[in-house]
Chain A
């Protein structure tokens, strides 16, 4: 064989493993080993202060039988469902508006995209603190004093349980919309104009085009966005920690915050590990359900 060709082949085919080793070792040490360890911890009775002395299912049963847990799961379900719906709806709305603005060459539509994205880079803790100032129940609080200008009585944004949940969802949606917008915007840009042109010839109006072309064509992107946003929301707790601290009472204490409190305030390492596994399992089950609903559905219809 020509030596040059040999060299090219050698360059094209470097042994893969040495190149992968640093990344895989790091991921192994910081992901794989901890995950396995969490599984082990879950069945022990370790606390943050001392290692496990015995293993068994008693600890698992104890933590799952905690009276607070059903309430926490309900709060998690409401917070996650409302956030995901809000983020998807607003993300899709902004994405489609920006695409339309670009298609019609409307000046200034980029501002919308930039403003939405700006909220995205605000750290979660700062997000919670900023909204805490906005939702301040003092007469000079941002929202309440604005409502006062138009003659509406002050709202108990954070001290009323229902309102506190709404407030937490608003803060989370404000920040989370950007991610959904980018993914859905990319997906919408990827759709061919031919479908829309054909639909226009058939006389389909904007609503018909949205329902019969945009939504079905964007199904895969909506699926991916839904999964990622759900997992992100399930894992979110810094916004809530800074905004309400889980209160009033436990009415905004989501599972991730509950897990955090169990481990780092009550020092119950095993209990926290059980809850952490529960968190991962919920994410996994929801992902499988989404894939079934959004992917299998069209095949079954055919």
Chain B
């Protein structure tokens, strides 16, 4: 009996600690939301008005009707999507071979691909900036998306290999007996079956790209080319205490797409990372 009572007490403690952690982890974004829907007058009331008495969407309207902010969002989506798509296209055949074939040096190569991911983009961008300059590719989305793509390849190879590993080979063998070429098997048999893995790799690449600051900051200096991550940094430099609510709204607009995409696909993404984590 006392054992059960003790478990109940521990349950209660579990809830108490969990509640504290939820509040601590949720507070920054809740406060951001609160600031973003305040009028300038209510910003100055601080914590006394956590829930604004007079909530307004005016800040969002002001940021979103600013035509360049729409452009920053579009630039961000474009760079991330091109980078993520490119990374998957390049990573899929490599991951397929790693998954289906034993060949000399395979595990060393996989490890090498994992290791390069640990190199800071800062290190890579010092020379990359010069190459792009020489090639006349500075200030182009193509160059920036190319770097996004390269940065996404290592993770994509690992994630796609894990998802190919989970697909039984029998279907591929049946297709092979029917005379299907390996590239067609990958395209028409394996990839459709690996759709959840492909989707989570795509979304993770998108999220990583959305957070990317250094690459566009260095390679794109023209304002109308910049993605939102760089744009809010520049915008923050031009704001003051009297426009905090506008900066907050701009931050909400920046983080909301990432959070929405993540929440919608949370189960898929978390299981994909966990599959990778268990193997690693």
Residues of A at the B interface (CB closer than 8 Å) are: 4, 7-8, 10-14, 16, 19-20, 22-24, 26-27, 29-35, 37-38, 41, 48, 90, 93-94, 97, 100-101, 104, 106, 109, 111-112, 114-119, 121-126, 129-134, 136, 138-142, 144-146, 148-149, 174, 177, 182-183, 185-187, 190, 206, 221, 224, 231, 234-235, 237-238, 241-242, 256, 259-260, 263-264, 269, 272-273, 276-277, 279-280, 283
Q: Is B18 an interface residue (CB 8 A)?
A: yes
**Is there an interface contact between A123 and B213, defined as CB atoms closer than 8 Å?**
yes
Complex Cα–Cα for A35 and B123 (A): 7
Please report the C-alpha to C-alpha distance between residue A235 and residue B119 in the assembled complex, in whole angstroms: 8
Q: Which of B56-64, B65-73, B148-156, B192-200 contacts A (4 or more CB under 8 A)?
A: B148-156
Structural contact, B124 and A31, CB atoms closer than 8 A: yes
Bound: A183/B129 CA distance, A:
34
Report the separation of the CA atoms of residues A263 and B122 in the bound assembly, to the nearest whole angstrom: 10
Residues of A within 8 A of B175 (CB): 11
Query: Are B277 and A22 closer than 8 Å at their CB atoms?
Result: no
**Given A34-B131, A129-B232, A149-B47, list of 13 further CB < 8 A pairs?**
A19-B96, A30-B151, A34-B125, A119-B29, A126-B229, A130-B28, A130-B29, A140-B45, A145-B48, A224-B280, A234-B120, A256-B122, A264-B218
| Cβ-defined contact, B177 with A38, below 8 A | no
Whether the pair A11, B185 counts as a contact (CB closer than 8 A) is yes
* Interface of chain A: mostly helix, strand, loop or mixed: helix
A130-B251, A182-B274 given; A276·B123 CB < 8 A: yes
What is the interface of chain B mostly: helix, strand, loop, or mixed? helix
B31 contacts the other chain (CB 8 A): yes
Cross-chain contact A31 with B116 (CB below 8 angstroms): yes
Can you list 8 A-B contacts (CB < 8 A)?
A12-B100, A13-B101, A26-B153, A38-B123, A134-B28, A136-B244, A260-B122, A272-B126
Are A231 and B118 within 8 A (Cβ)? yes
Q: For window 82-136 of chain B, which residues contact chain A by CB distance below 8 Å?
A: 89-91, 93-94, 96-97, 100-101, 103, 106, 109, 113, 116, 118-131
CA distance A33 to B11 in the complex (A): 55
Do B120 and A279 touch (CB < 8 A)?
A: yes
Set A35, A106, A190: member contacting B278, Cβ < 8 A: A190
Decide if A104 touches B11 in the complex (CB within 8 Å): yes
B167 at the interface (CB under 8 A from A): no
Shortest Cβ distance from B32 into A: residue: A130
